[in-house]
Amino acid sequence: MPEKRDLEFRGIGVSPGVVAGLVLVLQGGDDPLPEYAIPPEDVPREMVRLEAALIETRRQLHDIQERVGEAMGGESAGIFEAHLQVVDDPSFVDEVYREVREKRRNIEKVLMEVSERYAQTLLQMEDDYLRERATDIRDVTRRILRNLMGGGSDWLAGIESPRIVVAHDIPPSEMAALDRRKILGLAMELGSPTSHAAIMARAMELPAVVGLHDVCSQLQDGNRAILDGVRGRLVLHPTAAREEEYTRLARSRAVIQKRLETLRDKPAETLDGTAIDLAANIEMPADVKAVRARGARGIGLFRSEYLYLANEGNPSEEQQYTAYAEVARGILPDTAIIRTLDLGGDKLPAGDRRTVEANPFLGWRAIRLSLARPAIFKAQLRAILRASALNPGLRVMYPMISSAGEVDQANAILQECMDELDEAGQPFNRGIEIGVMIEIPSAALTAEAIAPKVKFFSIGTNDLVQYTLAVDRVNERVAHLYEPTHPAVLQLIAQTVEAGRRHGVWTGVCGEMAAQPLLVPLLLGLGVTELSVSPGAVPVVKDVIRRIRMDDARALADEVRGLSSGAEVLESCRGFLRRHAPELLELSE
């Protein structure tokens, strides 16, 4: 039976580039775990085995981190800090030890069970970044298990010629072992733009697509395919016409990317002279270098959660101050917005945890948790205030605000922290700017009441879309309903901007909408004056800003107000970009 031509699989493009070639399908099956009962006298021996495996794993990870740092820079090397934290986490290791004693099962089986519980907890988190940390847990566990069982870690060693590697998932430590000369690109069933595999693919400049559901079962080694890391496509058995189309596209994109590199030191300013604050989102202090390298002006979102994940949910004030001070100094003379704790209560120390929630995404988390645990909140606020003495542009932002009353409560606690620092003689910026995340519809609908209490709004479009449309974008059954251009979402954005304007409060966007070239003109036309995106997206967003006029952007916003569907809005945005920057469509579709 003849093979079908031009079979297209759609996923999420996470690292740009177009390549064509033969595929190598990695099924990635691990060796079966041994499982057996052990007598009480063998419990100490099992613990000694685990300790030896942990020591070897720690040595391997340090070696990987050093090699990755030399080859790919600090951002990629920093990924392995999370892996080392797993190995060094006393609560994780103690739980394994305890269950070996209680269950009297071999260490491999118990380690896997404990690890999977930790991973499942992370997978329940609302934040994409935190959900991806489950991969870290599983990756480290796989390495520890291999060391326990005396196995190697060379499951990619069989690659002899350049191939498009197709896999269910590729853990970071395995990514670090890839020989760039033998890999054309990466296609994975799992992953997201914030996954470590995606981060490392970008650092290695490998085209990559994730979220290709069930693709491994439909491909065979040696099949010819085209991988498009921008549009998020994998085309199996491409026709000659399709190959010619992609060859032209690859050349065109290369020319565009070359031009984008020249924009680093140029302002994010429209053709008619309107300056837009173009900032970057970061996960940890080491990311500040990438912000500078890509030409962003400041940090629009510093996610502080890694401090809590790395310190059993309880980082000290001094630990937090050290991190915030590094960001404050590193970004001078520009500004930086630190978002306060945006985690669920399951990440608190054991004494502060509550029972497991049926729906943690709508539960006790973020600002709700901070207000309920003022000691934890105050430690973070004091650390931020102290760091503000080093950079007057340091700002603080409250997440998951749903009402003006929550802002009042948070500001009252902030004032208490200021009073305490005054009493202790600690310097801080008394005029520090306070802002809130607008990511819940109730916040957008009551923005008029919230605005007098803050200096800025930052719209988290990822969650605003999900909460407005009741769509989990990582649920493949309903992901097609996730529509940033839905008229309801646009109305909430416009209402927020207007409320802010009436009260002298500026409005930014720090969600994925801000990084999409198609949607940037629409956001500016709606009145957004600040965009914060991943460092890698800064050049193309800056290019869009520099090629349009604000009058045209406002006209686009007026045009889409009369449309009834997200698809119609998207088509209007596409037409706008086609008229003003047609070649950029090839970087956004």
The domain that contains 193 carries what CATH number?
Answer: 3.50.30.10
Q: Where residue 3 falls among pLDDT bands split at 50, 70, 90?
A: low
Peptide bond into 484 cis (omega under 30): no
pLDDT for the residue 81: 62
Within a domain: residue 85?
Answer: yes
- Both 212 and 175 in one domain: the answer is yes
Q: Does 183 share its domain with 251?
A: yes
Distance (Å, rounded) from C-alpha 259 to C-alpha 584? 11
Model confidence pLDDT, tens digit, residues 565-586: 999 999 999 999 999 988 787 6
Looking at the fold, whether 119 and 175 belong to one and the same domain comes out as no
Are 86 and 176 members of one domain? no
Same domain, 144 and 159: no
Asked if the model's pLDDT at residue 1 lies above 50, the reply is: no
Residue 102 maps to which CATH number?
1.10.274.10
The domain containing residue 213 runs over which residues? Answer: 7-28+155-257
230 band by pLDDT with thresholds 50, 70 and 90 = confident
Backbone angles phi, psi at 24, to 5 degrees: -125, 115
Segments in 151-239 forming alpha helices (H): 172-175, 196-203
Query: ∠ CA 574-556-478 to the nearest 5 degrees?
Result: 55
Residue where a domain stops, chosen among 257, 289, 309: 257
Is the same domain home to 56 and 201? no
Query: Which has the closest alpha carbon to 440: 456, 462, 455?
Result: 462
| Residue 126 covered by a domain | yes
**Residue 86 predicted with pLDDT over 80:** no
Distances (CA, A) of 449 to 96, 328, 350, 498, 530: 50, 31, 37, 12, 21
Cα–chain-centroid distance for residue 308? 16
Residue whose tokens read 């400049």: 205
Residue 275 placed within a domain: no
Domain check: are 24 and 60 in the same one? no
Tell me, yes or no, whether 372 lies in a domain.
Answer: no
Give the list of residues 6+ apart from residue 312 with CB closer than 8 angstroms, or none: 89, 91, 349
β-bridge mates for residue 435, sequence order: 397, 456
Final residue of a structural domain among 114, 133, 149: 149
Residue 395 belongs to a domain? no
For residue 228 the two structure tokens come to 């498009």
Q: What is the pTM of this model?
A: 0.71
Same domain flag for 96 and 172: no
Catalytic residue IDs:
196, 510
What pLDDT score does 481 carry? Answer: 78
Q: Assign 302 a pLDDT band (cuts: 50, 70, 90).
A: very high
- Whether residue 119 is contained in a domain is answered as yes
Range list of H helices, 73-195: 74-87, 90-103, 107-123, 128-149, 172-175
**Number of domains, the chain:** 2
Measured between alpha carbons, how far is 367 from 340 in angstroms, rounded to an integer? 8
Q: Which amino acid is at 262?
A: T
Which one of 149, 164, 193 terminates a domain? Answer: 149
Q: Are residues 48 and 116 in the same domain?
A: yes
145 and 174 co-located in one domain:
no
Instruction: Write the secondary structure of 382-394 as one string of H (helix), E (strand) and C (coil).
Output: HHHHHHHCCCCCE
